[in-house]
Every structure is written in C-alpha cells, then in structure tokens.
Structure 1
Amino acid sequence: MSQVRDAIQRVSDIVSEISAASDEQTRGIEQVNQAVSQMDEVTQQNAALVEQAAAAARSLEEQSVSLRDAAAVFTLADGVAASPTGRSRPEAASVRAAAAARTPSDPSRAMRGNASATRAPASASAGAEEWATL
C-alpha cells in the first residue's frame, strides 16, 4: 500500500510541475503576443511616417520646380538669364537675341509693346498716391 501511495504522490507532483510549466508557458506566450502587437503598432506608425515623408518630398519637389521657374525670370547684369546652377541658359539667351532683332529701334515703341511691364508700377504708384491723400 505504501508503494501505491508513493506512486500517487509522484504522479501528483508531476502533474503539479506540468501545471506550473503550463502556466509559465502561458505567461510567456502572452508576453510574446504583447510584443508582436507593439511591433505591429510601431510598423503601422512607421508606414504612416513614410507616407508623410513621401508626400512632403513630392511637395518640396513641386515647390522647387516652382521656385526654379520663378527665379528663371530674373536676368544677370550681362543680360543672360540666371539658371539654378549659376550658369547661363543658352536657350534664354538665344530667345532674347531673336527678340532684340525684332525690337524696333525706338525704345518708346518697345515699351508700348510691353504694356504689362509698364502697368504694374503705375498702378502701384497710384495706390501710394491714394494713401497719401487719405
């Protein structure tokens, strides 16, 4: 009878150890699941940041093209159009040379042909005069 009782005790101890190991494994699996959930959340945040960075890069590219186009309007002292690289743009120089060949010798006629250039300052000065009279 003592052998049966000892055998039952050993089985009971083994079942307790198995139960404790099972609980420990359950806690470990819960920790792994929590870590995987956190990694998934961080991955989604990173994906959103990548999308935002890509959108910002596209916006900056569009703005740089717009700025380059706006800066291309200005000319250097020698009459050559400025380029973003600081070198002259040959196509702009050739266009200006062709325009100069067609321009009449009378500067007043040339200015009448470029009415947009003369209107803006006139309207700006008229606005200044209105403010002065108020």
Structure 2
Amino acid sequence: MRSLAGRSAEAAKEIKTLITDSVQRVEQGTALVDQAGSTMNEVVTSIRRVTDIMGEISAASSEQSQGVAQVGEAVTQMDQATQQNAALVEEMAAAASSLRSQARDLVQTVAVFKLTQHEGLPLLSA
C-alpha cells in the first residue's frame, strides 16, 4: 500500500509538473499570438501608408503627364509657326528678287529716253 501511495504521490507530482508546463506554454503561446496581432496591425498600418503614398505618386504622375502633353502641344505649335515663318521668308525673298529684276528692267527701259536740259534743271542721262 505504501508503494501504491508513493506511486500515486509521484504521479500527482508529474501531473502537476505537466499541468504547470502546459500553462506556461499556453501563456507563451498567448503572448506570441498577441505579438503577432500587434505585428499584423503594424503591417496593415504600413500597407495603408504605402497605399496613400502610391495614390499621391499616381496623382503627381498624372499631373506631370498632363504638363508634358501641354509642352508637347506648345512645341508642335511653335514648329508650325516656324514653318509658316520660313515659308513667308521664302515668299518675301522671291518677291524681293522679282522686284529687283523688275527694277533693272525699268532702269533699262527708261535709259532709252534722253531728257533735254531746261532752265535751272540739270541734264539727266542714263
């Protein structure tokens, strides 16, 4: 009987030790779960911040794209104006050349005429 009582006492100690170990492990597990929950909250907060930043970047990129498009349109308009100016310069050069030629022809045509001298006027000749 003593041996049975001794074994029972020993078994009770082992059970108490096992229960104590189990309680400690449950407490450790609870602490780890709490820590994981905090970490997940931090991750969610960080993801929200990243999402906000991405939204800001997207908006800024959109504005920049619109600005670049406006600059492109302005450059196209300047190119067209430059081409028009170049065409006008060519037309003006052709008109000046034509006027020069007509002036030469007019000088040659007028050179045929000789003017006589009148009182007080100098004699003109070509």
Q: How many residues align?
A: 82
Counterpart in the other structure of 2:83 = 44
Residue 73 of structure 1 corresponds to: 112
Structure of larger gyration radius: 2
Unaligned runs of 5+ in 2: 1-39, 118-122
**In 2, distance between residues paired with 1:77 and 1:45?**
51
For 1:19, the equivalent position in structure 2 comes to 58
SS at match of 2:82: helix
Q: Aligned to 1:33, what secondary structure does the other structure show?
A: helix
Cα displacement (A) at 1:88 = 3.7
* Runs ≥4 residues deviating over 6 A: none
Query: Residues 68-91 of structure 1: CA distance to partner in whole angstroms, max 9, x if unpaired?
Result: 11111111113xxxxxxx8544xx
TM-score normalised by L of structure 1 = 0.58
What is the RMSD computed on CA atoms of the aligned residues?
Answer: 1.4
Structure 1 Cα separation of the partners of residues 125 and 113 of structure 2: 11
Counterparts of 1:109-124 in structure 2 under 5 Å? Answer: none
* 1:62 lines up with 2:105 in the alignment: no
Percentage of pairs with the same residue:
55
Distance 1:87 1:71 in 2: 11
More helix by share: 2
Matches within 5 A, 1:1-20: 1-20=40-59
Cα distance between partner residues in 1 of 2:79 and 2:124: 50
How far apart are the structure 2 equivalents of 1:55 and 1:88? 31
2: CA distance between counterparts of 1:33 and 1:23?
15
Q: Tell me which residue corresponds to 2:5.
A: none
